[in-house]
Amino acid sequence: MSEVKTIKVIIVDDHAMVRSGLDAFMLAFDDLELIGEASSGEEAIDICAQLQPDVVLMDLMMPGIGGVAAIGAIREKHPNIQVIALTSFAEQEHVQGALKSGAIGYLMKNVSADDLVNAIRDAVSGKPSLSPEAARALVQSTTEPAPPGQDLTETERGVLKLMVEGLNNPDIAERLMVSTSTVKFHVSNILSKLRATGRTEAVALAVKHKLVT
């Protein structure tokens, strides 16, 4: 009978109660071995270099270096170490950030014991795991329209910046040393691309979406 390979796991969470709960959970499975704990992203990076775990369970919201940055640092230095984000947050920015940094899984802290142990085992095999909440966040991010203004040219951004400063078309033309008709053409394109009904709305959108500096 072949010996079961033990999966070496590290827990990273700034709450001691969470770490102790996960520690107790893993004692119930013969193929899981907790080899270390960390309470911050900095500690996680150091302990991964020392202990070389198979899988890291990583909280995202921690003081200092957050989980997303720690995931990126660990994956860059140790591509053989798989990281599962284990968090209470399922917002798009967190899900996308963790996955882009190299996490192979994204699970909520209310995950069932069976789902968590299966995710750890799957991670070793290179198989990703997503909680339903994380999957919904990803689907939502692909179906939402892109923020306005992403298709503005550099010239149009320059004109928009002057619009935000309160300049009218003749003033913009003088500042850019072009004709007023050229400015009107650019302003028309800007309003169209921003789907704005007028200059005031275009300026408001520019400020809201930080389209100009």
Instruction: Tell whether the model's pLDDT for residue 188 goes beyond 90.
Output: yes
Q: Give the CATH architecture of domain 154-208.
A: Orthogonal Bundle (1.10)
Rounded Cα gap, residues 172 and 33, in angstroms: 67
DSSP 151-175: T--HHHHHHHHHHHTT--HHHHHHH
- Asked if residue 172 lies in contact with residue 162, where contact means CB atoms within 8 angstroms, the answer is yes
For 7-143, CATH gives: 3.40.50.2300
pTM above 0.75, yes or no: no
Domain 7-143 matches domain 154-208 at the CATH topology level: no
The structural domains of the chain, with segments of one domain joined by +, span 7-143, 154-208
> What's the Rg (C-alpha) of the chain?
25
pLDDT tens by residue, 2-49: 566 899 999 999 999 999 999 999 999 999 999 999 999 999 999 999
**Average per-residue pLDDT for the chain:** 92
